[in-house]
C-alpha cells in the first residue's frame, strides 16, 4: 500500500458548520502533514505531526484544529470557516521526519465554504 | 525565508518535443523533489534527489541535483499529451527539518 487516502474528496460547508477532513496512510510513515493549496499556487504548509506529536503549526487560525489519533491517521477539524478558506486541502506523509522530507500526497479534499 | 525560483512559468510544446525546467535558490538545499499535479488531484512525486551532483531518471524524466546544492533541473524527453500538468520543484533547506519549500510551478501544455 503506497497511498495516502483522503476523505471526503469534495466538501461544501456553511460558515457555522463543523466538519472534519480525514487522512490515512499505511506505509509506516512517521511524519504527516496538512497543506492548503489555492488554484494554480503551490501547496502551503499548515501543520506537521512527527511521531504523532504536533511539531509545526504555521500560524494557522484556530478555526483549523488538527488531530493525530495514531500513526496512520490524521484529521483536520473545521469550525466557523470563512469563504476565503475555500481551497484544496492536501494531506501528505513522509517516512522519517528527521532525515528527509520526501512527502507523498493524497488526492486532496476540495473544500468550498459558503 | 528561503525561496525557490522556478522557470519557466508555463510552456506550450508540440508532442514529441523535449522539455526542460529548473529551480534555483540563494540558499543551500539538502533535498530536491519534483512533483507533477493534474487538475483536481494531489501532487505526485516524480523524482527525489539527495546528493549534490546526483542524476536520476524515471522513464522519460531526468532530474539533477546541482553541484552547488542551490539548483535542480527536470527534463522530459519525447513529450506526450498525458505529460500535461503543473510541475513543482520542492526542496528541504539545510537546517530545516520537516519543511519543504515549493517553487511556483511550471504549467506544461502539450499539443498533439
Over residues A49-108, the pLDDT tens digits come to 999 999 999 999 999 999 999 999 999 999 999 999 999 999 999 987 776 668 999 999
Interface test with A, best of B29, B41, B43 (most A CBs within 10 A): B43
What is chain A's length?
114
Q: Give chain A's mean pLDDT.
A: 94
Q: Give the closest-approach CA distance of A18 to chain B in angstroms.
A: 24
- Mean pLDDT value across residues A24-46: 95
H helix intervals, A1-114: none
pLDDT beyond 60 at B1? no
Question: Who among A97, A108, A110 is closest to B98 (CB)?
Answer: A97
- All residues of chain A having their beta carbon less than 8 Å from the beta carbon of residue B44 are 105
pLDDT beyond 70 at B58? yes
How far is A36 from A69, CA to CA, in rounded Å?
Answer: 21
- pLDDT for A100 equals 64
pLDDT beyond 80 at B98? no
Sign of CA dihedral B40, A13, A67, A47: positive
- pLDDT for A99 equals 66
Flag if B31 and A101 touch (Cβ within 8 Å).
yes
Q: Give the closest-approach CA distance of B99 to chain A in angstroms.
A: 7
**Pairing relationship of beta strands B61-65 and B55-58 according to DSSP bridges:** antiparallel
- pLDDT for B2 equals 64
pLDDT beyond 70 at A1? no
Amino acid at each position: 500500500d503506497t497511498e495516502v487516502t483522503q476523505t471526503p474528496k469534495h466538501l461544501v460547508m456553511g460558515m457555522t458548520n463543523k466538519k472534519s477532513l480525514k487522512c490515512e496512510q499505511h506505509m509506516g510513515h512517521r511524519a504527516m502533514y496538512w497543506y492548503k493549496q489555492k488554484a494554480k499556487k503551490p501547496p502551503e504548509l499548515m501543520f506537521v505531526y512527527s511521531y504523532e506529536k504536533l511539531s509545526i503549526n504555521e500560524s494557522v487560525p484556530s478555526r483549523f484544529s488538527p488531530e493525530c489519533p495514531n500513526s496512520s491517521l490524521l484529521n483536520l477539524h473545521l469550525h466557523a470557516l470563512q469563504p476565503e478558506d475555500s481551497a484544496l486541502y492536501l494531506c501528505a506523509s513522509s517516512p522519517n521526519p528527521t532525515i528527509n522530507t520526501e512527502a507523498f500526497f493524497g488526492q486532496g479534499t476540495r473544500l468550498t465554504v459558503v | 525565508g528561503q525561496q525557490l525560483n522556478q522557470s519557466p512559468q508555463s510552456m506550450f510544446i508540440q508532442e514529441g518535443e523535449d522539455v526542460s525546467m529548473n529551480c534555483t535558490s540563494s540558499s543551500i538545499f539538502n533535498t530536491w523533489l519534483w512533483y507533477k499535479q493534474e487538475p483536481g488531484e494531489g501532487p505526485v512525486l516524480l523524482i527525489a534527489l539527495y546528493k549534490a551532483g546526483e542524476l536520476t531518471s524515471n522513464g522519460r524524466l531526468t532530474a539533477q541535483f546541482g553541484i552547488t546544492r542551490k539548483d535542480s533541473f527536470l527534463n522530459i524527453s519525447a513529450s506526450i499529451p498525458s505529460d500535461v500538468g503543473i510541475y513543482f520543484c520542492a526542496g528541504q533547506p539545510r537546517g530545516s527539518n520537516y519543511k519543504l519549500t515549493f517553487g511556483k510551478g511550471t504549467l506544461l501544455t502539450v499539443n498533439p
